[in-house]
Chain A
Amino acid sequence: MRRILAWFDARLSLRDTLVPMMMHPIPRGAAGPMGWWYVFGSASMTLLILQIVTGIGLALVYVPTADQAYESLVFLNYSYLPPFGWFLRSLHYWSGSAMVFMVLVHMTQVFLLGAFKYPRELNWLTGVLLLLFTLGMAFSGQVLRWDADAYWGVGVGASMAGRVPWLGPYLVDLLLGGPIIGADTLSRFFALHVFVIPGLLLTVLAVHLWLVLKRGISEPPVPGKVVNPQTYQQEYETELHKEGVPFFGEALLKDALFSALTVIAVVVLAAIVGPKGPGALPEPALLGANPKPDWPFWWLFALLSLSPPQAETFIMLVLPVVLIAALLLVPFVSNRGERAPSRRPVAVLSVIVIITVLAVLTYYGATEPWSPVMGAWSGDAVPPRLVQASTPLELQGAVVLQNKQCRNCHALDGIGGRRGPDLTRVGTRLTRDQLIDQVSNGTPGGGNMPAYGKQMKPAEMDALVDFLVSLRPPGQEPARPAAVAQTPRPRASP
């Protein structure tokens, strides 16, 4: 046995290369209790390996053509041969989601502990690229789930690209690979998801790991101990020589335990929640699709939906470039000085602000209050308590409200669209004249509400406004014009 190993080592020289890499010393602190902060990078890599394995598994069955992709996904979900097709799909989705999450956690940790400072600027830059590739995998993967969300999602992406000055139409062609969203588009995203982005990702990951090895794992920050590019390298080397511990030891054990727990969490999630989609058929003739990206993009989805139309093109085209540039500039803006979060209030505050903003936008992306509810006009009942005491004309108005699709954007008692204001108490806010003006002319300047003036007969308008005026809590008087309200009224004595 020994001789066989010796035979191989005489040719592979692993004892001189791999073993020193595995046993290279790391700062003692990184192997101690602080080492738990260092586990997120390796967990991201574990999830990447899981993605590669499940991805290859799915590629054995998935058919990347527009006419059969959907069926092959349904086949994976429900066929018993091969068994666990649904579970592989589920794992691929949940482990991919976990990877996006873990990469973000890893990045936050590196930022908070100042590990991106001298001499590890390139570690950060390659890390930003890895984040972008991970998001690229998330987006292209979502397109391969060739359902209505994927179809219209590509349409939204193409419509954004089409706004780029001058180059727009060419970018749309490049994205779609043809005049329409179809087989050419799917093949394109398949090639991106399976060959192009993974190739780039693995290459940059190799550089990232090489840098981790060559520049060494950063020591846990100590308040007051500043990074000085002139002396840092020497101090680091000295510390390693004095009290470094081998990487294959305490540190790796923590990595391994955390990765194992992550894998178990992903497997449990995948088994309980199951695979995502495919949703509705990718057939454009079936209307009413309301495409929604996967969760890593909800914040951007919300940002675009909540921004005023004038700023929209800027947010679509310029903001991503600015954000990426800002991330890339981080280690150049501050590559020396304090590393401890307790001495870097601006850094800590930035993390808190960014996480809060992303969380709030993600919440809005999940609930999408800006989207009309297309079936509310015919599907959602008028709450009985609002029409219990209605006159026949007011009842007519309630019917007009439903028939003219008002409910798609306006809720009654919280049920219905949330694009416009809830109308449950509108009678206390707007007078009859204001209501007629609002309904006839819509939002001034063509804002959010269309002008219904030509879409309604006078009788319908009368009935509708009567109903709207009646919408107020019992005993409350209808809204009055401001001029009338200002005249002093005798107060009822208590």
Chain B
Amino acid sequence: MSEPSIRLPSAAQEGSGRRSFLRWLTYSVGALASAVLAAPLFGYLGGAFRRHKVQQWIPLGPVSKFPVQETRLATFNNDLGVPWDGMSAHMGVYVRNLGKDEKGMDRFLVFAQNCAHLGCPVSWFPQSGLFLCPCHGGVYYENGERASGPPPRGLFHIVPEVRDGVLGIQAPHLPTLQNTLDQRAKA
């Protein structure tokens, strides 16, 4: 099978001003078209990188709901996401009421439910005073410190705040080792 050979005109042969102008015009208009498309498209896709530094307080209930020196699971709807998150936004955090400090202010420890190892949900066992992770057996003490197992650190602390006798937390994103929850977001 012999195919008819097609000779492509080379740039040298195309030296005439009109042709070369047209070619460069095509290149530049093409580049412009790509640019005006690329900006919004990359902007759209880059939206995932937006850092979630918005301050959002979620009330968990009156302080009296949390007995002193005990750990309770508090559930809430996390509205950091979108309205159609449904039940996947219904989360829990562990609240430990440490009692009042010398100034009479309520002190709380609030832990995310995610294990610091790979993010599985830990369970609280009041009988042994331990948090246990079902996935790889990470164990934490009641103060959130790592007790044993594969986690490289303790539980993730969430910023608590008491307003008018109601305990609230700063809405938690999914905590990971390099993006924890203890930073207080700017208002």
What residues of chain A have their CB less than 8 Å away from a CB belonging to chain B? 65-68, 70, 146, 151-152, 155-156, 158-163, 168-170, 172-174, 176-184, 281-285, 287-291, 305, 309, 312, 370-372, 374, 377, 403-405, 408-409, 419, 442-443, 446-452, 454-456
Instruction: Tell me, in angstroms, the Cα distance from A452 to B87 when the chains sit together.
Output: 36
B81 interface residue per 8 A CB criterion: yes
Q: List 16 A-B contacts (CB under 8 A).
A: A66-B86, A66-B88, A156-B119, A161-B176, A172-B176, A174-B49, A179-B81, A183-B85, A285-B73, A291-B135, A309-B150, A405-B132, A409-B137, A446-B147, A450-B139, A456-B128
Q: A178-B82, A179-B81, A446-B147 are in contact. Are A169 and B132 (CB under 8 A)?
A: no
A283 pairs with B176, CB closer than 8 A: no
| Most B Cβ at <10 Å: residue of A152, A180, A456 | A180
Interface positions of B from 77 to 102, Cβ below 8 Å from A: 78, 80-82, 84-92
Contact of B129 among A67, A70, A447, A455 (CB under 8 A): A455
Q: Using Cβ atoms and an 8 Å threshold, which residues of chain A touch B75?
A: 285
Closest 9 CB pairs of A and B: A67-B86, A162-B176, A179-B173, A450-B147, A182-B85, A155-B119, A159-B119, A169-B179, A283-B87
Residue of B nearest to A282 (CB): B88
B73 pairs with A281, CB closer than 8 A: no
Contact of A442 among B80, B84, B147 (CB under 8 A): B147
Instruction: Tell me, in angstroms, the Cα distance from A183 to B82 when the chains sit together.
Output: 7
Contact of B85 among A66, A404, A454 (CB under 8 A): A66
What residues of chain B have their CB less than 8 Å away from a CB belonging to chain A? 48-50, 52, 73, 75, 78, 80-82, 84-92, 113-114, 117-123, 125, 127-130, 132-137, 139, 141, 146-150, 152, 172-174, 176-179
B132 pairs with A160, CB closer than 8 A: no
Residue of A nearest to B82 (CB): A183
B84 pairs with A66, CB closer than 8 A: yes
Within the complex, what minimum Cβ distance (angstroms) separates B9 from chain A? Answer: 28
Q: Using Cβ atoms and an 8 Å threshold, which residues of chain A touch B48?
A: 173-174, 176-178
A309 pairs with B174, CB closer than 8 A: no
B89 pairs with A180, CB closer than 8 A: yes
Instruction: Tell me, in angstroms, the Cα distance from A281 to B87 when the chains sit together.
Output: 8
Residue of B nearest to A69 (CB): B86
Pair count A-B, CB < 8 A: 193
B147 pairs with A155, CB closer than 8 A: no
Q: Using Cβ atoms and an 8 Å threshold, which residues of chain A touch B146?
A: 446
Q: Using Cβ atoms and an 8 Å threshold, which residues of chain A touch B176?
A: 158-159, 161-163, 168-169, 172
B121 pairs with A284, CB closer than 8 A: yes
A172 pairs with B81, CB closer than 8 A: no
A287 pairs with B49, CB closer than 8 A: no
**A-side interface mostly:** loop
Q: A179-B81, A282-B87, A291-B135 are in contact. Are A155 and B120 (CB under 8 A)?
A: yes
| Most B Cβ at <10 Å: residue of A152, A168, A456 | A152
Instruction: Tell me, in angstroms, the Cα distance from A432 to B127 when the chains sit together.
Output: 24
A183 pairs with B86, CB closer than 8 A: yes
B88 pairs with A183, CB closer than 8 A: yes
Contact of B179 among A162, A183, A403 (CB under 8 A): A162
B118 pairs with A283, CB closer than 8 A: no
Contact of A372 among B78, B87, B129, B132 (CB under 8 A): B132
B88 pairs with A151, CB closer than 8 A: yes
Q: A66-B88, A155-B119, A155-B120 are in contact. Are A290 and B82 (CB under 8 A)?
A: no
A179 pairs with B92, CB closer than 8 A: no
B128 pairs with A65, CB closer than 8 A: no
Q: A159-B118, A160-B118 are in contact. Are A448 and B177 (CB under 8 A)?
A: no
Q: Using Cβ atoms and an 8 Å threshold, which residues of chain A touch B125?
A: 377, 405
B137 pairs with A371, CB closer than 8 A: yes
Instruction: Tell me, in angstroms, the Cα distance from A194 to B133 when the chains sit together.
Output: 34
B119 pairs with A168, CB closer than 8 A: no
B88 pairs with A182, CB closer than 8 A: yes
Within the complex, what minimum Cβ distance (angstroms) separates B135 from chain A? Answer: 6
Q: Using Cβ atoms and an 8 Å threshold, which residues of chain B touch A372?
A: 132-134, 137
Instruction: Tell me, in angstroms, the Cα distance from A162 to B50 when the chains sit together.
Output: 16
Residue of A nearest to B152 (CB): A309
Contact of A285 among B49, B52, B82, B92 (CB under 8 A): B92
Q: A67-B85, A183-B85 are in contact. Are A305 and B90 (CB under 8 A)?
A: no
Within the complex, what minimum Cβ distance (angstroms) separates A305 from chain B? Answer: 6
Give 5 A-B pairs besides A282-B87, A288-B121 with Cβ atoms closer than 8 angstroms: A152-B119, A182-B89, A374-B132, A403-B127, A405-B128
Residue of A nearest to B85 (CB): A182
Instruction: Tell me, in angstroms, the Cα distance from A183 to B81 when the chains sit together.
Output: 8
A455 pairs with B118, CB closer than 8 A: no
A288 pairs with B88, CB closer than 8 A: no
Q: Using Cβ atoms and an 8 Å threshold, which residues of chain A touch B152?
A: 309
B84 pairs with A172, CB closer than 8 A: no
A450 pairs with B148, CB closer than 8 A: yes
Residue of B nearest to A178 (CB): B81
Q: Using Cβ atoms and an 8 Å threshold, which residues of chain A touch B135?
A: 156, 290-291, 371
Instruction: Tell me, in angstroms, the Cα distance from A182 to B172 when the chains sit together.
Output: 13
Instruction: Tell me, in angstroms, the Cα distance from A446 to B127 when the chains sit together.
Output: 21
Within the complex, what minimum Cβ distance (angstroms) separates B69 from chain A? Answer: 14
Q: A287-B92, A372-B132 are in contact. Are A67 and B147 (CB under 8 A)?
A: no
